[in-house]
Structure 1
Amino acid sequence: MNIVKSGVINGKQRHSIINNGKIIKSSYDKGKLQNYINPPIEPICEKITEETQILDLDNIEDDRIGQGIKQDLKDKIEVISNTAKKLVLYIPKGLKASIFPIGDLHIGSEEFNEAWLDYWFSVIAKSKNYIIIYLMGDILEVASKKVGDSSYRQKYNVNKQLKIFKEKVDYLKKKLGYNPIRATVSGNHDKRLLEFDYSLNQTIAEILDIPKYDVTLYDTIIVNGKELKIHLNHGKHTNKHQHLREGAFIRDTHHISADLFLEGHNHDTDTFSDFIVGDEVHYRRFFGFTGSALNYNGYAKEQNLREIPKGFIEYEIFPNAGLNGKEYHSDLIDWKME
């Protein structure tokens, strides 16, 4: 709680006690308000925050007007800083941010399901959370002269695929009112163009105005002063048994300091976590296999692969920087677009 000027009435300066953006008590006698906040016993007072300090009530002449003021930034997520190095957010109680990793779309593939991608983006566009998107590689389908049995047959060229994806991203930006994509990592199919000295990942970053790109990336998100480290890599864990994929992912990242590890490549949709426990440490790490937009149809059987339903994941970020993983499986939800 703190005391602010709340208007001048009949030539007298009035003051009010503000708590969480609300007027608690008003008086012409500032001393009475100070006694209210600081009684003889030890008070429990909220720390004066930047948000309450910027409340400007100097011209308010009626408490009812003050009561009608929106709780300033108390009811809104504020982007304090958004650079390639880090994203700094203020998230009030009751609101959240969401991380949506997007990868393995293989847009030029015959098995690409555009309706599923449209549903994917519709979930993001309708979210009330602040959205953070990472591109996890293999967004496009790239043919290679060096790979005779190329995994997916390229239906149309890279330029047309880029146009399709950019149109969908531009629509999403318009719906959200900002660019949600923070980073992009390259996939194994993307790397095929390196034989022509062409970086598809760099091109995607430039066309979509993405702050950073690489093969492996770290990102930092600071929520209400608490730091989250995100590790991004296209991935390599393809064992057909889920528990073995998860175990390998955990084992191969034990030496990496991060809170959330995201990986694509295997087209699986999975969120899980483990605990690091030691003499002086005890903390939880979160993981995600980020899904895909492929039908597979006869391809999986043809290549003796597992049939994996289309899917994607979401990691919610709470005001205390806590994480919660959610999975969207095409075979478990009613997603068909009208």
Structure 2
Amino acid sequence: MTEATQRTSDSGVSIWLDDLSRTRIESGSLQDLIANKNVVGVTTNPSIFQKALSQVGPYDAQLKELGKVDVETAVRELTTTDVRNATDIFREVAEKTDFVDGRVSIEVDPRLAHDTENTKTQAVELWEKVNRPNAMIKIPATLEGLPAITATLSKGISVNVTLIFSLERYEQVIDAFIEGIAQAAANGHDLKHIGSVASFFVSRVDTAVDKLLEENGSDEAKALEGKAAVANARLAYELFEKKFAADPRWAGLEAKGAKKQRPLWASTGTKNAAYSDCKYVDELVAPLIVNTMPEKTLNALADHGDGAPSIEGTYAESKAVMDKLAELGIDIKQVTDKLEADGVASFIASWDSVLSDTQAGIDRVNA
């Protein structure tokens, strides 16, 4: 373990890798990251699978086995195989942490982001297809996704809620989670192994807000550059603390073995070279946090990260940042609404590429 990743972990942060591919699974890379960089979970998304499945070679043997299947079936077979194999690699971590960590996420088809019923159906299908207790099904936090989150949890299925940008939506996600766990309890499910994280996206907020601040051009605006994303995420952590403490149902559910839905910082790679490459890790350290990071960010953390607690005592300062943004005419709700819509559109575009690359693979191996 490196000193910085160990310190980050000791501060209460679970380090997950935001990447997966057949090559990474077969090369022993995941085992190496578990052993040497405190990695205790994996997240995937359509963009990650686009990158993985665009590689010629690693998936050819399985494509040959599948024969001339339709492309949707092929994609599901390839991606669920990767996730199943990764969950097996992380199974020991899962068991050691009582299934808090050791989780590997797979996302429902992003084209279903505004389709509640089909999201509910596919979440169950993916869970049954992967067939591992340390898997997690990713469902986007669109308005239509919220009831699907509750319904999926109610069946005893672990859920990673993705594409959260605003405090308002995050509060709705926590409510959907608690309702889902309450229904799972009523349905007789063992609550101990139902895991959930709420993936709150970070760096994209700075990218969007900094652009507006640059357009403003004032000294006040310049002083706020690079501050919105961390302030927004820190206030999300405050909301996490308050909501679970205040909800009258939670103590009873916890007594039955339920575990809190943890905040997960996503989009933690630094997109502005002027900022520290560990910015969205080091400035967001607190207990019960998951931080999923691309390997480049993980390596930066391991090399020169801090890892000391950095959220406690920052809420007033964070609120002041958001108030100043509002005074400058920046409508954070407008920003986060657009980020959600853009996030869904980006994942759909990636999924379309996954389908076309896989079709090319099917054609190649069957030529």
TM category, shorter:
0.3 to 0.5
Identify the structure with the greater strand proportion.
1
The structure with more radius of gyration: 1
Q: What TM-score does the superposition give when structure 1 sets the normalisation length?
A: 0.35
Identify the structure with the greater helix proportion.
2
**More RCO (CA 8 Å, sep 6+):** 2
Q: What TM-score does the superposition give when structure 2 sets the normalisation length?
A: 0.33
